[in-house]
Structure 1
Amino acid sequence: MRGKVLSYDDSLAQGLISGDDGMRYGFTRADLMGGARSVATGSTVDFEASDGRAVSVYVVSTGLSDKNKWVAALLTFFFGIWGVHKFYLGKNTAGVIMLVCGTVGWFLVIPGIAVALISFIELIIYLLKSEQQFHEDYVAGDRSWF
């Protein structure tokens, strides 16, 4: 049966799949097949239903969007003080705040320094997160800062 991963908590090693039949099935890391150790929310999976649980879960497509952490990191490095990486990730309010502080804010010095520091910290965070964590926090999730 096919389904979509509704959630997966890597620290608990368990998740929830919505099957094509409209039912929800729980699964654990041990149910993941094909060498997978984790699965992204929104991934399409193929699985067998057994006693209300999903077993033999194979990832068909990852569900990760075209928003890439490496592109976000490069945009942060080169254009971070203007918030270009925020616009790339769809966080427009945060992008406007950084754009204003990164341009007009330099006249007051403190806002300009603050956005430069924020963009540097975000660059480090983007590089340290896994692709799945990045996707869950900044693309699928509503996290705009750090």
Structure 2
Amino acid sequence: MSGNQLIKSILASVLAAFIIPFLLQRVASIDISFSPAVLATIAIVVFVVTLAAAWQPSAASSAPSARQDAEADNDANDSRELGVVKWFNVSKGFGFITRDNGDDVFVHFRNIRGRGHRSLNEGQKVRFNVRESEKGLQAEDVSVVNS
């Protein structure tokens, strides 16, 4: 749970402690006093419920990460080349892959499969296609090969 979720839970609890009694009086004609005990009880219940909801695994956290997406490629029939990451500068978003024949190929983070933060680690085995660009060889459709 993040600090943001905790703050959201506290704010929701405080707001609900004041809004729920007001709504019950207006909508259901239930007479509820705005005593500190009632407000505290409502705030605690809402706080516990929002915290419990925050602890539940969400669909986003159970979805595969970009790294898992990139590593999911181990198809033996894949026609892409194999190579090894020579180096990759995460802050600049590019690096080089060494082909089996020893040539170095430029790789940009946009050409790495996956979503979100995409990067490579030195020494990783990768599959990729090569194209000739204005500046030389460039890797495309790059994915990490599971060892």
Query: TM class by shorter-chain length?
Result: under 0.3
| Greater RCO, 1 or 2 (C-alpha within 8 Å, sep 6+) | 2
Q: Which has the larger radius of gyration?
A: 2
TM-score (norm 1): 0.25
